[in-house]
Structure 1
């Protein structure tokens, strides 16, 4: 059972976001695995994929390198920029902001799920977008 995704150590690579998490604990050491998000969404072959290499390690840095090596060899995405460049971690949630022309929108993932829960809303700036999401998270925290 995933405790939470370690979004703050996520790495964008080859059109994917590599997201480490603690798979298990053995002899008081964390064993890490990873999941992937594709910039193409469900059209990416490895979107929401869980560690296609089957390799696990006690180091976040090593699991990221394993994922990068596998994506270097097998990525199906031809990225034209860093889709995951504008990403934030707020209260352990992941917020990814996207810009298309002069409009901004976002993806939002809870700490324990890679199901996008973003509202279908368009913003005029990155600042407006991130503040709207943070305000919603803060409201949910105080009301819930």
Structure 2
């Protein structure tokens, strides 16, 4: 699978729609998507790949397909945008959550939806992002040295 296009992700009614290039046919790219649910594994579509089973011809097309599928099939009661504080750094997706005076995060690598976040709490979004960037930058330096 090609990398997930986190920079083209769209938050919609409690889900994060994440497009990716599924393949090519006659020199045209075919798009698919994955979903994250704001309530995680309690939702049937969390980390699912293209539950609509329909592919698209571009990012906006596949996002529309995903939205329609969510409209028709989701029982999730939308609480607010849990994905509003999301960042892409070195093609990694970082989602920051804040509860009262504590921040924590989810961290997904470019190719798959496996949360690799450390169980760590932070006092601010800035502190959280700085810590993640430092770790990713250190990993990059180590990879170049090998």
Please state which band the TM-score falls in when normalised by the shorter chain.
over 0.9
- State the distance in 2 between where 1:142 and 1:3 align: 24
Q: Deviations over 1:41-89 (max 9, x none)?
A: 1001100111111111111101000100110121122121100000001
Q: Does 1:77 align with 2:76?
A: yes
Mapping of residues 1-144 of structure 1, within 5 Å: 2-144=1-143
Gaps of 5+ in 2: none
- State the distance in 2 between where 1:60 and 1:120 align: 33
- State the distance in 2 between where 1:142 and 1:14 align: 39
Deviation beyond 4 Å, 4+ runs, structure 1: none
* Alpha-carbon RMSD: 0.8
- State the distance in 1 between where 2:101 and 2:75 align: 28
Task: Return the TM-score normalized by structure 2.
Answer: 0.95
Aligned residues: 143
- State the distance in 2 between where 1:103 and 1:109 align: 20
- State the distance in 2 between where 1:76 and 1:93 align: 29
Task: Return the TM-score normalized by structure 1.
Answer: 0.97
| 8 A contact 1:45–1:76 mirrored in 2 | no
